Chain A
Amino acid sequence: MDPAESVRMTVRSIRGHKLRSALTVVGVVIGIASVITFATFGASVETEIVGDIETTNAGNVYVFATASGDDDFDRVLQPVFTESDVNRLAATDGVRAALPRGIVRTQSIRHGNQTLARQQVTATRPASFTPSVLVEGRAFESGEDAVVVNEDMARSFDGNLSAGETVTLTTADGEERTLAVVGVVNGTRGELPVSDFARQPRVYVPIEPFYDAVVESPSAGVRQRAYPQVTLVADPRRIPETQSAVQAYLSEESDARSLSADDTDLVARSGSDFVEQISDVIERITRFVTGIAVIALVVGAIGIANVMLVSVTERTREIGIMKAVGARNRDVMQIFLVEAALLGAFGSLLGVPLGLVVGYAATRYAEVTFSLAPLWMGLAVAVGVLVGVLAGLYPAWRAARVDPIDALRHE
């Protein structure tokens, strides 16, 4: 039969039972809204994090050691990259600078009369602080009793720390050192994704005199400083080649190789590798949570099926009339399927805006920029309709099989 006519008849029958129809689709509304909420939130978080990395660190290659087979989160392990390694890496084709980073254990940091607990600060070379990341002041010099902080750190103190002031750092062994704050860097630019991709307060100190992890270099035969991580500033147009040259050096000749356990991988990751990894993780989480939301949809489907069965019984006589004036089984089936599909679509149409509102609230709460997931929205509506149709199949089949004589006798 004419599909437009079955839609018209269905709209009429749904309108005839407004409250019941609304209650029927509550399950679908909740299901679709949760899917949209989680999808939107996931997409927003992903866009935010990935955006950070992509815009700032495209030309960086990060060298570090990680446990084999641990492919989700790279954990920085032992300081195995010696000064010799750093020099060799710096000399690799396509590498513009090699910036080692070390961790210095501390207890706390004080400014004025405010003391904040702080377990570690990052030791690095002055070259890490390019003009593009400095919002205030300058980089420290090697050997200087000075720190550079990021904006998040600066904000951690009442009255905002700024260049020219001093802080007192208490080291792991309890020694207090008063240091000049010479610069403030932007919290989202030029960071290390390995440890910094979540925005957190950071304090940077010069390697000399703060960092003193040493090891005997197998290649040089002398004791040298060693670092758990090295950031390579690479020629952005030659990242893949540089990455493989670095990788080859790491796995064949480096001190780090002989200094690390066999089950440790030495890796050279580019910014885009991180982007992929992070997207992957977020996507998996989103999919998992969305899976849970699908359960709500199943509940919604059961609701629709239930009401449709009641509706078939209630309308047995109408079915009989339609059959008596020439409706074929498939026409009756069509009418009930359209009704179920419309209920599903109606549920999704209510669920999508609801999900967007809740998703928006969640991004506000998590302080990430809201971004839409249009594909998910389209998918959600399609799923809603599909849920309706699936839920309506059995009731529609029952309706189609109604015997016209019995139905006309039905009161």
Chain B
Amino acid sequence: MSETANATVVVDGVSKHYDLGGRVTALDDVSLTLSKGSYTAIMGPSGSGKSTLLNLVGGLDTPSAGRVVVDGRDLSSAGEDELAAVRGTDVGFVFQTFNLMPRLTAVENVALPLVFDGWDRDRRRERALSLLSDVGLGDRIDHLPTELSGGQRQRVAIARALSTEPALILADEPTGNVDTETGARILDVFDDLHAAGNTLLLVTHERHVAERAERVVHVEDGRVRSIEETPEGTD
């Protein structure tokens, strides 16, 4: 398997420590490769390091040791501006808590990454509107996050993650705060993105969610315990 050659993400011997009086090891020598267009789920008990791993891949955090390479770019040695560019254009992040800007409307939230990516106003709005209608929120464009339901907020967040057309989508428990039905719709969106050739990495602790992916990485105590190919992924 020439996995590395075709890889979008390479996590190579990565550790993450926190020094708070004692030393907390969130990740301990983790290696993982995501090939282009793959769909991977991460499972594991609470506190096992899933979010930490996702944040490192998304350029939100930097490793204590090891390398994280995204699209050929080594994030462990990247400067602040380069990391910002990765977060803005290479990666789309979907959070469990949505993380929408409270004073911006749905369409403005979706357009926010485009502001930092230097798009002009008309193009930003046009793109944001089409993304919102793709996720079924064409009639909620001027609503503030507080005027939307949890599931609607998560769809705004997904539209935002897609705005700069990143090849890599990262989602940290995207269905954790929405009801089962909405969760199912969100997973359908991910399936579509996968079908369209995007690379997906999704953290979940729900078995049925993880099974939508091609493979499941099991993490425990900051280490990768096993990698499981799902029936879905084998076709």
Q: Which of A49-57, A315-323, A379-387 contacts B (4 or more CB under 8 A)?
A: A315-323
Q: Is the CB of A326 within 8 A of B88?
A: yes
Whether A408 sits at the interface, judged by CB under 8 Å, is yes
Interface bracket on A:
20 to 34
Whether B194 sits at the interface, judged by CB under 8 Å, is no
Q: Is the CB of A13 within 8 A of B103?
A: yes
Whether B85 sits at the interface, judged by CB under 8 Å, is yes
Whether A212 sits at the interface, judged by CB under 8 Å, is no
Whether A329 sits at the interface, judged by CB under 8 Å, is yes
A331–B115 alpha-carbon span in the complex (Å)? 10
Q: In chain B between 76 and 103, which residues have their CB closer than 8 angstroms to a CB of chain A?
A: 80-81, 84-85, 87-89, 93, 95, 99-103
Whether B55 sits at the interface, judged by CB under 8 Å, is yes
Q: Is the CB of A328 within 8 A of B99?
A: no
Q: CB-CB < 8 A to A324: which residues of B?
A: 58, 60, 87, 93, 95, 99
A390–B95 alpha-carbon span in the complex (Å)? 36
Since A326-B88, A326-B113, A328-B85 are in contact, a sample of 16 more A-B pairs with Cβ atoms closer than 8 Å, ordered by chain A residue number, is: A2-B120, A4-B121, A5-B115, A9-B103, A13-B103, A16-B103, A320-B99, A326-B87, A326-B117, A327-B116, A328-B80, A328-B81, A328-B116, A404-B61, A405-B55, A408-B95
Question: Which of A1, A4, A322, A325 is the most central at the interface, judged by chain B CB atoms within 10 Å of its CB?
Answer: A325
Whether A199 sits at the interface, judged by CB under 8 Å, is no
Whether A12 sits at the interface, judged by CB under 8 Å, is yes
CB distance from A184 to the nearest CB of B (A): 72
A404–B46 alpha-carbon span in the complex (Å)? 21
A327–B87 alpha-carbon span in the complex (Å)? 8
CB distance from A355 to the nearest CB of B (A): 33
Q: CB-CB < 8 A to A322: which residues of B?
A: 101, 112, 116
Q: CB-CB < 8 A to A318: which residues of B?
A: 101-102
Q: CB-CB < 8 A to A2: which residues of B?
A: 115, 118, 120-121
Q: From the candidates A1, A12, A326, A405, name the one contacting B85 in the complex (CB within 8 A).
A: A326
Q: From the candidates A13, A326, A408, name the one contacting B116 in the complex (CB within 8 A).
A: A326
A interface SS class: helix
A371–B95 alpha-carbon span in the complex (Å)? 61
Whether B160 sits at the interface, judged by CB under 8 Å, is yes
CB distance from A71 to the nearest CB of B (A): 59
Q: Is the CB of A405 within 8 A of B61?
A: yes
Q: Is the CB of B103 within 8 A of A12?
A: yes
A328–B79 alpha-carbon span in the complex (Å)? 11
Q: Is the CB of A323 within 8 A of B84?
A: yes
Q: CB-CB < 8 A to A328: which residues of B?
A: 80-81, 84-85, 116
Q: CB-CB < 8 A to A317: which residues of B?
A: 99
Q: CB-CB < 8 A to B164: which residues of A?
A: 326
A12–B61 alpha-carbon span in the complex (Å)? 30
Q: Is the CB of B60 within 8 A of A325?
A: no
The residue of chain B having its C-beta at the shortest distance from the C-beta of A326 within the complex is: B88
10 contacts between A and B (CB under 8 A): A13-B103, A317-B99, A320-B99, A321-B99, A321-B100, A322-B101, A323-B60, A325-B116, A326-B84, A329-B81
The residue of chain A having its C-beta at the shortest distance from the C-beta of B58 within the complex is: A324
A318–B112 alpha-carbon span in the complex (Å)? 12
Q: CB-CB < 8 A to B84: which residues of A?
A: 323, 326-329, 331
Q: In chain A between 273 and 329, which residues have their CB closer than 8 angstroms to a CB of chain B?
A: 317-318, 320-329
Q: CB-CB < 8 A to A5: which residues of B?
A: 115, 121
Q: In chain A between 209 and 238, which residues have their CB closer than 8 angstroms to a CB of chain B?
A: none
Q: CB-CB < 8 A to A408: which residues of B?
A: 60, 95, 99
CB distance from B36 to the nearest CB of A (A): 22
Are A1 and B61 also in contact (CB < 8 A) when A325-B93, A326-B85, A327-B84 are? no
Q: CB-CB < 8 A to B120: which residues of A?
A: 2
A326–B119 alpha-carbon span in the complex (Å)? 13
Q: Is the CB of B115 within 8 A of A405?
A: no
A108–B46 alpha-carbon span in the complex (Å)? 102
Q: Is the CB of B87 within 8 A of A321?
A: no
CB distance from B170 to the nearest CB of A (A): 10
Q: CB-CB < 8 A to B104: which residues of A?
A: 9, 12
CB distance from B35 to the nearest CB of A (A): 25
Q: CB-CB < 8 A to A326: which residues of B?
A: 84-85, 87-89, 113, 116-117, 164
Q: Is the CB of B116 within 8 A of A1?
A: yes
The residue of chain A having its C-beta at the shortest distance from the C-beta of B86 within the complex is: A326
Q: From the candidates A1, A321, A404, name the one contacting B101 in the complex (CB within 8 A).
A: A321
CB distance from A129 to the nearest CB of B (A): 74
Q: Is the CB of B103 within 8 A of A325?
A: no
A405–B61 alpha-carbon span in the complex (Å)? 7
A209–B196 alpha-carbon span in the complex (Å)? 115
Q: CB-CB < 8 A to B115: which residues of A?
A: 1-2, 5
The residue of chain B having its C-beta at the shortest distance from the C-beta of A4 within the complex is: B121
CB distance from A20 to the nearest CB of B (A): 14
B10-34 CB mask vs A (1 if < 8 Å, else 0) is: 0000000000000000000000000
The residue of chain B having its C-beta at the shortest distance from the C-beta of A408 within the complex is: B99
Q: Is the CB of B116 within 8 A of A331?
A: yes
Question: Which of A321, A329, A331, A405 is the most central at the interface, judged by chain B CB atoms within 10 Å of its CB?
Answer: A321
Q: CB-CB < 8 A to A4: which residues of B?
A: 121
Q: CB-CB < 8 A to B113: which residues of A?
A: 325-326
A317–B100 alpha-carbon span in the complex (Å)? 10
A354–B204 alpha-carbon span in the complex (Å)? 60
CB distance from B103 to the nearest CB of A (A): 5
Q: Is the CB of B118 within 8 A of A325?
A: no
Q: CB-CB < 8 A to B100: which residues of A?
A: 321
The residue of chain B having its C-beta at the shortest distance from the C-beta of A325 within the complex is: B113
CB distance from B226 to the nearest CB of A (A): 27
Q: Is the CB of B118 within 8 A of A323?
A: no
Q: CB-CB < 8 A to B55: which residues of A?
A: 405
